[in-house]
Chain A
């Protein structure tokens, strides 16, 4: 049990610090109203007011993020293959090419259907 005591102490310290900071901040900090403070952080849609009937909102950021994930995963697969390239031989090369071609097809789709255009 003694092994867990430091962890417990750390947890109590962390929780105490968080609670202390949040409680003290309204009393010590300056309050200067600014419109930017109520905006969505960096990107994203304005939560209110909503347009009539729900409206449409831009998906640009989300599409970019999703594309990033797709190619990120591609790279993740490429690294171990590149490291063990000579051990994996021709079979590995062909499989990797097939994989890249498949991702390339998705890329071609996004590109042709204007998923990469910002406006």
Chain B
């Protein structure tokens, strides 16, 4: 009895993933075995070493030549785009972890009801949930796997590994506990619902193709040419699950609530890392598996992209909370990125779109983490000063901080000389080349609408009188200051001299997704 061949697993290619998950498991062990006072000082180095080491391993894989065949029996594709996305996620993760490391953001005892003696006791005892480090690592590992999954089953597992820790982390804000718990429950319920859609869609597509591998689905498509009920319903449901994760309209409702309630460092991690990972998965499903079905999904995606851009830009105008405004801005940006997803065609066109999307993700991700880092520093007595009216006159009281934030907002708006300009330019240029001109017109108009509310915040900060009891600017920890500095530097450098990163994105995109 020796009929089962052991699978070949390319450990070298998968090493970045394995290292991140390994570091997470070490983190759990530290939680189990180390005494309370040592935990934080052990967790931080383990987390950072894991992430930086994984980044080094990504570079090693690239040096050894980008693989041309899917790893682990075709389950995971470590191709050019995947390696690029891994690198981006790891960079964003490192700077988000620096932000997470700030003491002030997380609750002392999540189980205590807000405002009760139990909670006061936990704060007095200096309690802290150092589990946030391994949880964040699991989420980051899930993001990496999500973007590189080459079959739907692995993609679903990755989706859950990514989402479950994030649901938990959302509920751990130190202040405004009820809002945080509400965010956690909302995200969990809606996320579970969308996962169910994904799973059902996966089952239907399996029913059609007889396989869950993306390449296999693509092969099965050739035979029917998109006229199969199982396939169409399944593809639609997969789309619902994935579009939920990027926050595209009409599945955007969770984003403002969750972004507002979650601890701001976690919001930064979600807004950057999850978006990058989810776009990796969207591209893989719609380009690799359903690439030959584009006559069916393209019209739907047109609608979704237009709706997302318009809803994000218009609803952001009415927001009075800075985090909610950034959430709606993130929805609008997801819409801009979707124009790139739609602009497919011949191989050269696909590479062009992919390059634009990859560059956009880098530029947007880093600026986002920086913007949320600034949000953590503007504080009232009750925590962060979320309401926009509290930001009035910030430019007169703290010109440097307000200046940096204004710069981030201009980058979101896509003003030349910021990274956002080249990101938008690359995606819109690819969309024009791909024949999606009306979409680009909608995109440019919504960008203009979006610029209005970004500039409104800048005007509020610099041209109105500061309130007498205005918020204080917290003295940033080294980590937070570092994050703001890195993000600002990256936004400037990518805005003035984007060629190296653009070339990197081009190289990564040139191989397209392997099958």
| Residues of A near any B CB (own CB < 8 A) | 53-56, 84, 86-89, 91-92, 102, 105-106, 108-109, 111-113
Contact = CB atoms under 8 A, between A and B. Distances in A.
Given A87-B2, A92-B6, A102-B25, A113 B31 contact: yes
B115 A106 contact: no
B7 to A, nearest CB: 8
Contacts of A111: 32
A96 B75 CA distance: 19
A113 B28 CA distance: 11
Nearest to A106: B28
Contacts of B115: 53
Contacts of A53: 113, 115-116
B224 interface: no
Contact of B33 (A54, A56, A108): A108
Interface in B385-423: none
B262 to A, nearest CB: 21
Interface in B174-201: none
Contacts of A87: 1-4
A86 B1 contact: yes
Contacts of A86: 1-2
B203 to A, nearest CB: 21
Contact of A56 (B6, B29, B118): B118
A37 B289 CA distance: 56
Nearest to B111: A56
Nearest to B31: A109
Nearest to B3: A87
Given A106-B28, A108-B32, 17 more contacts: A53-B113, A53-B116, A84-B4, A87-B2, A87-B3, A87-B4, A89-B6, A91-B7, A102-B25, A105-B25, A105-B28, A105-B29, A108-B29, A109-B29, A111-B32, A112-B31, A112-B32
B302 to A, nearest CB: 43
26 contacts: A53-B113, A53-B116, A54-B113, A55-B113, A56-B112, A56-B118, A86-B1, A86-B2, A87-B1, A87-B2, A87-B3, A87-B4, A88-B6, A89-B2, A89-B4, A89-B6, A91-B7, A92-B6, A105-B25, A105-B29, A106-B28, A108-B29, A108-B33, A109-B28, A109-B29, A111-B32
Interface in B19-71: 25, 28-29, 31-33
Contacts of B116: 53
Contacts of A56: 111-113, 118
Q: Is the interface of B mostly helix, strand, loop or mixed?
A: loop
A102 B141 CA distance: 15
B117 to A, nearest CB: 10
Interface of B: 1-4, 6-7, 25, 28-29, 31-33, 111-113, 115-116, 118
Nearest to A88: B4
A91 B111 CA distance: 42
B487 to A, nearest CB: 34
Contacts of A112: 31-33
B6 A113 contact: no
Nearest to A52: B116
Contacts of A89: 2, 4, 6
B514 to A, nearest CB: 25
Nearest to A59: B111
Contacts of A55: 113
A109 B113 CA distance: 24
Nearest to B26: A105
Nearest to A86: B1
A56 to B, nearest CB: 6
Nearest to A94: B6
Nearest to B2: A87
Query: Max chain B CB contacts within 10 Å: which of A105, A108, A111?
Result: A105
Contacts of B29: 105, 108-109
Query: Max chain A CB contacts within 10 Å: which of B3, B28, B32, B115?
Result: B32
B142 to A, nearest CB: 15
Contacts of B7: 91
Contacts of A102: 25
Contacts of A54: 113
A103 B303 CA distance: 45
B32 A113 contact: yes
Contacts of B113: 53-56
B132 to A, nearest CB: 14
A31 to B, nearest CB: 39
A105 B28 CA distance: 7
Nearest to B22: A102
Contacts of B111: 56
Contacts of B1: 86-87
Nearest to A108: B32
A114 to B, nearest CB: 11
Q: 4 shortest A-B CB distances, which residue pairs?
A: A91-B6, A109-B32, A112-B32, A108-B32
Contacts of B4: 84, 87-89
A112 B32 CA distance: 5
A55 to B, nearest CB: 7
Contacts of B2: 86-87, 89
A90 to B, nearest CB: 8
A97 to B, nearest CB: 14
A47 to B, nearest CB: 17
Contacts of A88: 4, 6
A100 B4 CA distance: 21
Nearest to A101: B25
Nearest to A87: B4
A84 B31 CA distance: 36
